[in-house]
Amino acid sequence: MIRVVATTPFEGQKPGTSGLRKKVPVFQQPHYVENFVQAIFDSLEGFAGQTLVLGGDGRYFNREAIQTVLKMAAAAGFGRVAVGKGGILSTPATSCVIRKRKAFGGIILSASHNAGGPQGDFGIKYNIGAGGPAPEHITDAIFARTKTISEYRILEAPDVDIDTLGEVGLGEMVVEVFDPVADYAELMRTLVDFDAIRALFQNGFTMRFDAMHAVTGPYAHAILEGMLGAAPGTVVNGTPEPDFAGHHPDPNLVYAKDLYDLLMSDAAPDLGAASDGDGDRNLIIGRGQFVTPSDSLAMIAANAHLAPGYSGGIAGIARSMPTSGAADRVAEKLGITCYETPTGWKFFGNLLDAGLATICGEESAGTGSNHVREKDGLWAVLMWLNILAARRESVADIVRGHWVTYGRNYYTRHDFEEVDAAAADGLMNALRERLATLPGQVFSGLTVEKADDFSYHDPVDGSVTTKQGVRVFFTDGSRIVYRLSGTGTAGATLRVYIERFEPDAGRHAQETQAALADLVALSRSLPDIPGRTGRTEPDVIT
């Protein structure tokens, strides 16, 4: 029986950079999940009898939310929900499955790299039939609906067993529990040279993949150790846990420090890699050589033709605005366009659908291609393995060689987390007010060339997205970018992105923070971060 339940709106159910993210106790309030899921369904048309793909990164509250979505999807009239076994489905695998099954869309339950557990974060994101995150006109409609919602519909039924493969009925709908790894692994096999990578491992190549107790464990076990023959034990922390064993499943140099330390030690394997909570981010570290995400994007693009899925070359590259210009230099050499989009994968969808871009990436450890419509952590690792197998050089040699050819973009991001929201808004507004007066001014020897607030004009659908980050460019080619995070769940996170291009190969061996020290100091004094936020040092440096 379908129950119609009266409800009232919750404040703040606004999807951010990547879906709705809040603390678990917020989601645990009666009606909270139901309101948001109903708002999603109310914003969509034409799904009667169609398939919805459903899964999550296995974090705390995943199973409860899955049951709610299943019963609401049955009440809404979906014909089938395909749910990953155990409620597990990485973000890129969700995108893969939506596309492969020609599903109407999908719901991903994840707060990505944010900590999980009873006091941690949870999230809900809707993906469209093309496989990617809902574009802004849909997320805007969902948010508008959350503000007027007065009832939701849910099937009264016992919980569905999501741990047994196969199909069961739920009201008039079919619930299909499927293997979350199979389709994804099959897709990977068509894109990268599994034979070459298997031979690489056979010849003694060593690797450590840290799944950070999050969703990529089963995928990495099956693909790296199973299909590719990496030594058992290559994958560590490979069992998804609801609280990620108490860690932040964020593959950066702060939260994956053990991996970094190993790769810098005498005991280093040839390659170290990691992925985040929902499997869409990647960290790449060679023996003694960290690869920044911005560089990794450029290097994957420059070498993509070595992988069978891209042997015909790439049509274009797209990067988010704060991502370094390293990819632009590769695009220039290849004679293709490098598109610059706002932060968040949803802006790449149109470019990929239209065939304008093949490879996309973000400075936040996200890299992907037109094989799905999400960033894809394991794909990036497999691309690196393919490149290493084809070139038979070390990561360090490939990185240094790339810099010699293209120059080096020294790059760092400084995050000031849980800043008072009003103070952060005040800082951004004050910067915006000064934009017109900045050009020509000289700060500690650096002359401002231009300054703006980034707007994106989507070349495919003509939509315009404004206020995507304040950019200050200097005459020597350096750049500082300021923006506020759209994924946090407490206060505001101020992200400061700092970059300088160095063409001279004789100056490529500097330590990043030292090479950028003057810009870093200026990045704090220019908007008076200490005065406005009370912070003198960032919480996270990537």
Q: Who contacts 284 (Cβ-Cβ below 8 Å, separation ≥6)?
A: 271, 272, 273, 290, 291, 296, 380, 381, 384, 395
Estimate to the nearest angstrom the gap between the alpha carbon of 344 and the chain centroid.
Answer: 7
Question: Which member of 487, 489, 523, 533 binds ligand VG1 (CB under 6 A)?
Answer: 487
Nearer to ligand VG1, 201 or 255 (CB): 255
Which listed option, Co ion, ligand VG1, none, makes contact with residue 18 (CB within 5 to 8 Å by class)?
ligand VG1
**HEC profile for 431-444?**
HHHHHHHCCCCEEC
Q: Which does residue 366 touch among Co ion, ligand VG1, none (CB within 5 to 8 A, set by kind)?
A: ligand VG1
- Using DSSP's 3-state secondary structure scheme, residue 291 falls into strand
34 binds, among Co ion, ligand VG1, none (CB under 5 to 8 A by kind): none
17 binds, among Co ion, ligand VG1, none (CB under 5 to 8 A by kind): ligand VG1
- Site mask, ligand VG1, residues 1-40, x = CB under 6 A? ----------------xx----------------------
Query: Does residue 112 carry a catalytic annotation?
Result: yes
Q: Amino acid identity of 343?
A: T
Of 252 and 533, which has the nearer Cβ to Co ion? 252
Our CB check for ligand VG1 shows the closer of 92 and 527 to be 92
- Residue from 71, 281, 414, 524 binding ligand VG1 (CB under 6 A): 281
Asked if 345 touches ligand VG1 (CB under 6 A), the answer is yes
Say if CB 536 and CB 530 are below 8 A apart: yes
CB of 136 vs ligand VG1, minimal distance in Å: 14
Which residue's CB is nearer to ligand VG1, number 72 or number 492?
492
Contact 68, 170 (CB under 8 A): no
Taking CB within 5 to 8 Å according to partner kind, which of Co ion, ligand VG1, none is near residue 362? ligand VG1
DSSP, res 538: -
Q: Find the catalytic residue in 90, 112, 324, 369.
A: 112
Q: Is 194 left (phi over 0), alpha (psi -120 to 50) or beta?
A: alpha
* Smallest separation, CB 112 to Co ion (Å): 3
Does 486 participate in binding ligand VG1 (rule CB under 6 A)? yes
Cα 285 from Cα 265, distance rounded (Å): 12
3-class DSSP assignment, residue 386: helix
CA atoms within 13 A on the CB side of 390: 18
Residue 363 beta carbon to ligand VG1: minimum distance, rounded to whole angstroms: 7
Q: Which element (helix H / strand E) includes 333?
A: helix 326-334
CA distance 426 to 287: 43
Site size with ligand VG1, rule: CB under 6 A: 18
Give the one residue of 35, 51, 90, 112 binding ligand VG1; rule: CB under 6 A: 112
- To the nearest whole angstrom, how small is the minimum distance from the Cβ of residue 495 to ligand VG1? 6
- Alpha carbons 249 and 43: distance in angstroms, whole number: 32
Token pair in block for residue 34: 């139901």
Tokens of 220: 């990495």
Q: Which of 71, 99, 113, 373 binds ligand VG1 (CB under 6 A)?
A: 113
Note the residues at the interface with Co ion (CB under 5 A): 112, 276, 278, 280-281
Rounded distance, CA 79 to CA 52, Å? Answer: 8
Of the CA atoms within 13 Å of residue 78, those in its CB half-sphere come to 30
- What minimum distance in Å lies between the beta carbon of 16 and ligand VG1? 6
Rounded to 5 degrees, what are φ and ψ at 336?
A: -125, 170
Residue 121 or 270 with smaller CB distance to Co ion: 121
* Sites for ligand VG1 among residues 353-372 (CB under 6 A): 362, 364, 366
171 binds, among Co ion, ligand VG1, none (CB under 5 to 8 A by kind): none
* The one-letter amino acid at 450: K
- Reduce the DSSP state of residue 133 to 3 states and report it: strand
Give the nearest distance from C-beta 113 to ligand VG1 in angstroms.
5
Beta strand ranges found along 18-100 (DSSP E): 20-23, 51-56, 80-88
Q: Which does 237 bind (CB under 5 to 8 A by kind): Co ion, ligand VG1, none?
A: none
Catalytic residues: 112
Contact residues for ligand VG1, defined by CB under 6 A: 17-18, 112-113, 276, 280-281, 320, 343-345, 362, 364, 366, 485-487, 495
